Amino acid sequence: MATEKIILGIDPGTTIMGFGLIKVVGKKMEFMQLNELQLKKYDDHYLKLKLIFERTVELIDTHHPDEIAIEAPFFGKNVQSMLKLGRAQGVAMAAGLSREVPITEYSPKKIKMAITGNGNATKEQVAKMLQSLLDLKELPKNLDSTDGLAAAVCHFYNQGRVQIGKSYTGWASFVKQNSLQTSKGGLKKNNPIVDLRKKKKL
């Protein structure tokens, strides 16, 4: 009997968060869902982060993905945009870590390369290829949700290959890989990550 697992792909953002779900049966993938979380109407940046966290947890609790693939922020020239994207990615990852779902990060270029064979492909080209690969009847008007789906498909294609993205199997793994842990197992002082397990209520 072929093994089955579900992959949740996420394209984080503070304007739109795109996500897609695929089921892997043996060596084949099946489309499950793609959608987006619209955040344009909210002005409070911290409220947006809260909604991203809650939506990600809801997706995990509803669909029980075995693995999460997330698109890493693109390093552009706008520092403020990078900071916001990094925070959006961080809370989505925190949601996955809180449910102990293994997470793998992929750069936008790696995802495009996996789907189209071209690391500089446009959103439209990626979406059209996904439509062909997964036999989608139609594409959404906003292609951010297909970016989330692309992350999941990229992860499927890279199973069994040499790892090309950062992977985390839980909070301890995340701390270790990001050099935040001392030799005695505690968190280093003055690091930018707060251990949410030990955070005191104000």
**Catalytic positions, written as ranges:** 11, 71, 144
Query: Which long-range contacts link 190-197 to residues 24+ away (Cβ below 8 Å)?
Result: 195/171, 196/94, 196/98, 197/171
- Residues 6 or more apart in contact with residue 64 via CB below 8 angstroms: 6
Sign of the alpha-carbon dihedral angle for 156, 158, 163, 164: negative
For residues 124 and 144, what is the distance between their CA atoms, to the nearest angstrom? 10
Is 4 assigned a ligand-binding role in the annotation?
no
User: From the CB of residue 7, how many other CB atoms can be counted at a distance below 10 Å?
Assistant: 25
For residues 49 and 160, what is the distance between their CA atoms, to the nearest angstrom? 33
Identify the residue whose tokens are 């290959």: 161
In sequence order, what are the beta bridge partners of 11? 18
Q: List strand residue ranges (DSSP E) for the chain, in order.
A: 4-11, 16-25, 28-38, 67-71, 103-106, 167-168
147 neighbors 114 (Cβ within 8 angstroms) = no
Is 147 assigned a ligand-binding role in the annotation?
no
Is 124 assigned a ligand-binding role in the annotation?
no
Q: List binding-site positions for Mg(2+).
A: 11, 71, 144
Q: Which residues are annotated as a binding site?
A: 11, 71, 144
